[in-house]
Structure 1
Amino acid sequence: MLRLSLFLGANLAILAVLSVSFRLLGIEGLLQANGVDLNLTALLIFSAVIGFAGSLISLFLSKTMAKAAMRVQVITAPRTATERWLVETVHAQADRVGIGRPEVGVFDHPSPNAFATGWNRDDALIAVSTGLLNTMSRGEVEAVLGHEVSHAANGDMVTLALIQGVVNTFVVFLSRLAGFLFDRLILRIERGYGPGFWIVSLVTEMVLGVLAMAIVMWFSRWREFRADAGGAALAGRHNMIAALERLKLAQNAPPLPEEMRAFAISAGRVQTLFASHPPLERRIAALRAGDTRPHTPVGPARRRAGWG
């Protein structure tokens, strides 16, 4: 919750600084001198509301939507030795990194995969597929669980949603501004919105949306290296490498639904600028090079000292 409040506060401050800058630099006056009656501050606020609304709603409903989309069976009372081991392992890892114990669940899917979701690091969901349990050893599964617990401890779900909100804000702002300027300066429409506004806004939003997605996916790839390091710290580097090697053998398995891939340990074959995960080869190379330093310190005492 503190991370969410700080991030929202920082972005409100950015919007306030931009609004003041528009006035100090005389941008609004320059627009008005050219017949453009546009309130940039109001447009910024409108863009922020639109930009963050979807991201925040998705974040707060993430656990509910994930459970429904993947038909996750949450383990409330373990019925088998495997279920008991899963819950005990996740809870032990959560205790080590100093976060609240997540819910643990299993979903039926042939692909060896797992994901973490939730709006709060102390109220997360860690779910694994039946394919993962059927193909990996316990050491490898433990590493995958450590990877997902590290995502929760690092606050990656919250940060990804807020970064999405920020880029959405600027996409909406700049596309509307481009459409408005086209209407007023090119088509010389003095009042209301002409067809040029809607066409230019739509095209600009599509182009900027592509660039925005590249930024969001860059962060998503970067956080995977951090989570791999966390998984290695919690379960051993050899187990984390072995788990990723196992995933390489299953890259042709059916992927998870599109809306869940950014939160999974593997998204299948990924080589593009818009991939949510870096190639498994790069992740394995980073671990073999010894980059296993956890970005979320292990131990409740470190958390009380202000880590995470």
Structure 2
Amino acid sequence: MGHMRTYVLMAAMTALFMGVGALIGGSGGALVALAIAGGMNLFAFWNSDKAVLSMAGAREVDARTAPDLVAMVHDLADRAAMPRPKVYIIETDQPNAFATGRNPENAAVAATTGLLRSLSREEIAGVMAHELAHIRHRDTLTMTLTATMAGAITMLANFGLFFGGSGRDRPGGLIGTLALMVLAPMAAGIVQMAVSRSREYEADRLGAEICGQPGWLASALTRIEALAKGRVNHQAERNPAIAHMFIINPLNGQGADNLFSTHPSTANRVAALMRLQPAQAPRRGPQPAAGRSSIPRSGRTSGRGPW
């Protein structure tokens, strides 16, 4: 099912790419766009994870530079019986995280410094477990392909607007110009929404199983949403095509891309997680960062928040 979804997504994005090419240059433009889309799909499959990490401004860390975060991710991956992903940190005050990679053997998780400073260890563990769930389900391939192709479609549309000649010269005239300017990026955003919402619920469920405590992730989602609204993620604002990859929408209203949410309601996600709590022995969610954690620390801290 996951592979079929990826193939359908790639076909839809390719068709949209060809449509934009046709608006710019007619049938010849469509053929050129088809060739470019084929190359983009191949590039995205092998390299889109690197592109997404670069767009997010992520830097790789290891057991020396971020010992506790790396140890936590490795412990959770071992618990889930999956390969250990690479670990990255994004320098931004907004608490958030995402995963990327074409398969579990070539995957990475990224957390922001705002997440590491603002959340408790239990909440961070819940977030990292959610991202590992995306990797285990191979959602990350779909996510990275979507981000790469959506960004390319928007860029091609902008190129056509500024360098494609006057509206009269294009197929469809003024109507074609307006469609090129508005509908193509909007359609790319709709595709992102279509594959994002149900995927988040499933990753929440499996993430709760991996960390063993649904309340940890529920508490993390609530705190991240509340804090993210007041903190700008400049990398995501500059590259809104990657917004759907984060655990909580990183855009806070600075651009038109925020008209469409790629994430389900946080309240609904929290309610679904709390239904997973054992009825006979309900556990409280983690307290803010001052509390102790049941997850063992390893090595020395790096001086950034709890890490």
| TM class, shorter-length | 0.5 to 0.7
What SS does the aligned partner of 1:118 have?
strand
Which residue of the partner structure matches residue 148 of structure 1?
Answer: 131
Amino acid in the other structure paired with 2:171: F
State the distance in 2 between where 1:162 and 1:66 align. 10
State the shift of 1:93 in Å. Answer: 2.4
1:230 Cα deviation from its structure 2 partner: 1.9
Preserved contact between residue 90 and residue 101 of structure 1 (Cα < 8 Å): yes
Q: Secondary structure at the match of 1:218?
A: helix
The structure 1 residue matched to 2:244, chosen from 250, 254, 262, is: 262
Q: Which runs of 5+ in 1 are unaligned?
A: 16-37, 169-193, 293-308
Q: Deviations over 1:35-62 (max 9, x none)?
A: xxx99xx999766544454355345333
Q: How many residues align?
A: 240
Change (3 A) 1:161 1:254: closer
Contact 1:105/1:127 (8 A) holds in 2: yes
Instruction: Provide the C-alpha distance between the structure 2 equivalents of 1:166 and 1:69, rounded to a whole number of angstroms.
Output: 14
Report if aligned partners of 2:215, 2:277 keep a CA contact under 8 Å in 1.
no
When residues 56 and 95 of structure 1 are mapped into structure 2, their CA distance, relative to the original with a 3 A threshold, is: farther
CA contact (8 A) 2:249 2:263 kept: yes
Specify the code of the residue in structure 2 equivalent to 1:130.
T
Specify the alignment match of 2:216 in structure 1: 239
Q: 1:182-230 deviations in whole A, cap 9, x for unaligned?
A: xxxxxxxxxxxx8352636544454355244213212112211122112
TM-score, normalised to structure 2, is: 0.63
Identity %: 25
Give the match for residue 248 of structure 1.
225
- Shift of residue 167 of structure 1? 9.4
Which residue of structure 2 aligns with residue 225 of structure 1? Answer: 201
Report the Cα distance in structure 2 between the residues aligned to 1:210 and 1:280, rounded to whole angstroms. 23
Per-residue deviation, residues 11-66 of structure 1 (Å, max 9, x unmatched): 78xx9xxxxxxxxxxxxxxxxxxxxxx99xx9997665444543553453333334
AA partner of residue 264 (structure 1): F
Larger radius of gyration: 1
Deviation at 1:141, TM superposition (A): 0.4
- CA displacement at 1:273 relative to structure 2: 6.4
Structure with more contact order per residue of length (Cα contacts < 8 Å, sep ≥ 6) = 2
Partners of 1:91 and 1:211 lie apart in 2 by 38
Secondary structure, in 3 states, of the residue corresponding to 1:197? coil
Number of the residue aligned with 2:141:
158
Residue ranges of structure 2 left out of the alignment (5+ in a row): 15-25, 152-167, 279-307
Structure 1 residue 249 displacement after superposition: 2.4
On the 8 A contact 1:52/1:162 being kept in 2, the answer is no
Q: 1:64 aligns with which of 50, 58, 75?
A: 50
- Could you list the per-position Cα deviations for residues 143-181 of structure 1 after superposition, in whole angstroms to 9, with x for gaps in the alignment? 01001111111111212455689999xxxxxxxxxxxxx
SS of the equivalent of 1:116 reads: strand
Give the counterpart letter for 1:246 in structure 2: R
